[in-house]
Structure 1
Amino acid sequence: MNDDELYSIGELARRTGVSVKTIRFYSDRGLVPPTDRSPAGYRRYDLAAVARLDLIRTLRELGLDLTTVRRVLDHEIALSDVAAAHAEALTVQIRTLRLRRAILTAVSERGSTPEELNLMHRLARLSEAERDRLIGDFLDTVFGDDPEFAAIRRTLTAELPDHPTTVQLKAWVELAELSQDLGFRSAVRQMAEDYQAGRGPRRVPLRPGLVARIREQVGPAVRAGIDPRSPEADAVLRSLTADYAAAVGAADDDHLRARLAELLQTANDPRWAQYLTLLATINGWAAPEPLAPIYDWTIEALRRAG
């Protein structure tokens, strides 16, 4: 081989931008062995060593460890396989970093107690599977394994997309934090129990059609500005309670009205409205209709009538 085609270690460093110290390190470990040595014993490298060093530098900058780099150089594993594996690993890292950024943004915007910060830090360190289990644990606590709630569980499950926005990430952090609130869990569990068929004498259950009935019958009255304590409200309330009593097979009496007021008071928990709003944001759904004004109107009218 012509000496003009060989590079000293210093020339190789200048050509590749890799330090002499690093080249010597790679050379000593057999990653970039010298092509030849000068009569004085100095290492010399050819163009193949230049290409090999360029590849090593690229792989290292992409985060591959030296063991993997050696296996690629020795053709023990395909570079395409390594690239695919590391691309997936980087995807996971990016998701984690975006989640951590969302948490830091939330902290900076609202401020947090040390306890809240510790919780959010723990949430940020969860893997995707662990995040799913976190929400699953909340739903298990609230609904148990009752098959009657299978469909409802699915609609209440938060699923971050593969490429969530910052808004979705922040919403997930808030929802996960909310799901750990024992008071909130207890309130939702109460709603689940109210949803089921009545148990005990004269127990009035909260059936699926109730919210739809209230929205259809009370919504127009709220939008029209009708006072729930006015005579005009009586006709709306009578229609609502008569339809509901027939639907659940109960008498349209003071007990039913008192029970409905109690059920709606539980369902009107602002934390539940927050959960549904956050859930819609995370899953990319349309924002739910605010029901608090309708619930407030109905509760006041029911209690006045009772």
Structure 2
Amino acid sequence: MITIGQLAKYVGVSTKTIRVYHDKGLLPEPDRDASGYRRYGANDAIDLIKIRTLAEAGVPLARIRGLRSATDTEFQQALGEIDDELTARIRGLQATQGRLRQLAAGRLTPLPAEVGAHLERLARWGFTPRWVDLQRDLWVLVFATHPDHAFILFHDQAETTADPALRQLYLDYDHAYDLGPDDPRIDDLARRIADATRERYGRDVLPALDTGSDIPSLIQGTVNASSPAWQRLDTLIRAHLGV
């Protein structure tokens, strides 16, 4: 027979934890000896090891308490379920660890390969690193939150930038970043973009651009926040299009 302190040291938990298990009804509290000390035996140690193992596996204490009255078959079935749950958690943690290591190495780019290729083309076409980085951040956000709609929007943008004339509008948009919001070149660029948008999608622009999602406004809001000139451009383009 051993004391609560010896039991705690043997199993690898604190005496406070053992008392909590007593209070929660997980581990029966033994009688005290003539000196007033609780004395624990081998069965108590085995029970405590079981409780500790299940608790470390993430099993709630209430569920552990319920397993005390389970039959051998029920207990083995529960252990199998817990093992499956733990395996899934381990896989999730390993995936998180992989992303963390990618982040530490500066290689966190959770984007489809075709988006990565598109970003590389933007750089070759003369877009500024600021624009390419902004596009990457936006597509990471969009694909993470709305993957289905994201592909619709991405393919539309990829087709647009593949057209030399339309690509030049994007380039002009990119290079307007540092212009003052009242610069007359912004008014001219807004008109040209509105004309090209109307030509691409027809006069009823809004339905043509509607994907049933809030992604377009999310993207445009992020772009607008980057530059007063870009915000002014967006306002003028909307005015020209009547949206």
Using the size of structure 2 for normalisation, the TM-score is 0.44
Of structures 1 and 2, the one scoring higher in RCO (CA 8 A, sep 6+) is 1
